[in-house]
């Protein structure tokens, strides 16, 4: 008792549960036997031994658990290089597939753009053809109108000419026999 409070160490000596006295305090055989007869001292020694035993068991269990976990992780890690190689191959395969899809998309876009350009050109050509058709129709209508006007003018001229210049009187079929009207025959 005096050893613990009087500067003595409370640690067990070599794990045996015995108190190690402070080096400045002298120990005698009589004092050691007296300490072992003290029931409080014995109870404390027993509790310390049990506590140390529990501590050692917990420590051993924790070490054992850590060793088991280490073996488990080592076993898992042993398969990592193979998994990594497999995943690397999958990544390369997916990259190639992605590149092919990207190239297909570009090709389809190019085709789509080409079709759009072709469609635009066809629409422009169609519009030009429509305009040309409309112009031809208008020209044909103008030509027909001019022909009608010319025909009307010709008819008017012919009709007007008939009234202005009547046709000569018809001559007798045989004017020699009748003689010359002006010459007195």
11 φ, ψ (degrees, to nearest 5)? -75, 150
Domain interval for residue 98: 88-161
What's the domain count of the chain? 2
In a domain, 173, yes or no: no
In a domain, 166, yes or no: no
Judgement on whether residues 72 and 8 belong to the same structural domain of the protein: yes
What is residue 12's three-state secondary structure? strand
Judgement on whether residues 31 and 72 belong to the same structural domain of the protein: yes
Cβ neighbour number for residue 33 with a 10 Å cutoff: 9
Going residue by residue through the chain (185 aa), what tens digit of pLDDT does each one get? 444 444 444 444 445 555 555 555 555 555 555 666 788 989 999 999 999 999 999 999 999 999 999 999 998 888 888 888 899 999 999 999 999 999 999 999 998 888 898 999 999 999 999 999 999 999 999 999 999 999 988 888 877 767 676 666 666 555 555 555 555 54
* 48: enclosing H helix or E strand: helix 39-78
């Amino acid at each position: 008792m005096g050893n613990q409070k009087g500067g003595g160490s409370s640690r067990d000596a070599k794990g045996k549960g015995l108190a190690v006295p402070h080096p400045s305090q002298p120990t005698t055989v009589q004092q050691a036997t007296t300490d072992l007869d003290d029931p409080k001292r014995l109870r404390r020694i027993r509790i310390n031994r049990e506590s140390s035993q529990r501590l050692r068991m917990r420590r051993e269990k924790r070490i054992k658990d850590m060793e088991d976990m280490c073996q488990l992780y080592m076993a898992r890690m042993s398969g990592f290089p193979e998994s990594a190689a497999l995943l690397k191959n999958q990544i390369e395969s997916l990259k190639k597939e992605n590149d092919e899809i990207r190239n297909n998309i570009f090709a389809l876009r190019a085709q789509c753009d080409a079709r759009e350009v072709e469609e635009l050109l066809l629409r422009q050509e169609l519009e030009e053809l429509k305009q040309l058709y409309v112009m031809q129709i208008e020209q044909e209508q103008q030509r027909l109108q001019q022909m009608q006007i010319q025909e009307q003018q010709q008819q008017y001229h012919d009709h007007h000419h008939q009234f202005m210049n009547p046709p000569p009187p018809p001559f007798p079929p045989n004017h020699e026999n009748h003689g010359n009207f002006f010459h007195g025959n």
